[in-house]
């Protein structure tokens, strides 16, 4: 049973890493489930403090990932139109993989600002802010999932 849980744990950790890029999977929560599965084996036991700190990191990463693109758009001069445009652009970008994931929020923010009667210069500035926020959130999630993978390999060796 332990071998099955270890393999399932590794699959969750790798799927979580992929989920940082693909919006269909919530990356850090799936990776955390992988660590929990590893914890329930007879060969690896994490402390309660470790599990709670990791859970806290997952929650913070998910919250930050939600707000960072909006803040990037807002602090670069964007409006609600740009935020909604970035949101819908990110959803539509899923259908144009892989570049749609990166460029969808940018083009969505620009289109939203243009619909909200902003000039092209301000719309592009909002789009860049949204794109930078999206990229920062992605780097944060990938870093956390790689950290979880490192913890997995340290625990099993």
* Whole-number Cα distances in Å, 150 to 23, 49, 131, 153: 23, 18, 28, 5
Structural domain spans, the chain: 2-156
DSSP for 58-124 reads HHHHHHHHHHHHHHHHHHTT--HHHHHHHHHHHHHHGGGTTHHHHHHHHHHHHHHHHHTT--HHHHH
Question: Can you give the pLDDT at residue 120?
Answer: 84
Residues in the chain with pLDDT values less than 50: none
Q: What is the pLDDT of residue 140?
A: 92
* DSSP symbol at 22: S
Cα separation, 28 vs 157, whole angstroms: 23
Determine the pLDDT at residue 155.
92
Kindly report, residue by residue over 21-42, the tens digit of the pLDDT: 776 788 999 999 999 999 999 8
Residue 44: φ, ψ to 5°: -130, 130
Which pLDDT does position 157 carry in this prediction? 85
pLDDT of residue 23: 66
- In this structure, the chain runs to a length of 157
Cα distance between residue 149 and residue 48, in whole Å: 19
């Amino acid at each position: 049973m332990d071998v099955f849980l270890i393999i399932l744990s590794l699959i969750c950790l790798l799927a979580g890493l992929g989920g940082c890029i693909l919006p269909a999977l919530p990356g850090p929560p799936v990776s955390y489930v992988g660590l929990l599965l590893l914890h329930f084996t007879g060969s690896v036991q994490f402390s309660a403090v470790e599990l709670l700190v990791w859970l806290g990191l997952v929650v913070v990463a998910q919250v930050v990932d939600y707000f960072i693109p909006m803040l990037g758009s807002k602090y670069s001069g964007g409006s609600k139109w740009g935020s909604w445009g970035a949101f819908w652009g990110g959803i539509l970008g899923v259908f144009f993989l892989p570049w749609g994931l990166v460029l969808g929020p940018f083009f969505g923010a620009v289109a939203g600002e243009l619909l909200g009667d902003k000039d092209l210069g301000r719309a592009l500035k909002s789009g860049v802010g949204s794109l930078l926020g999206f990229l920062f959130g992605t780097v944060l999630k990938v870093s956390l999932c790689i950290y979880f993978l490192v913890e997995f390999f340290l625990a099993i060796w």
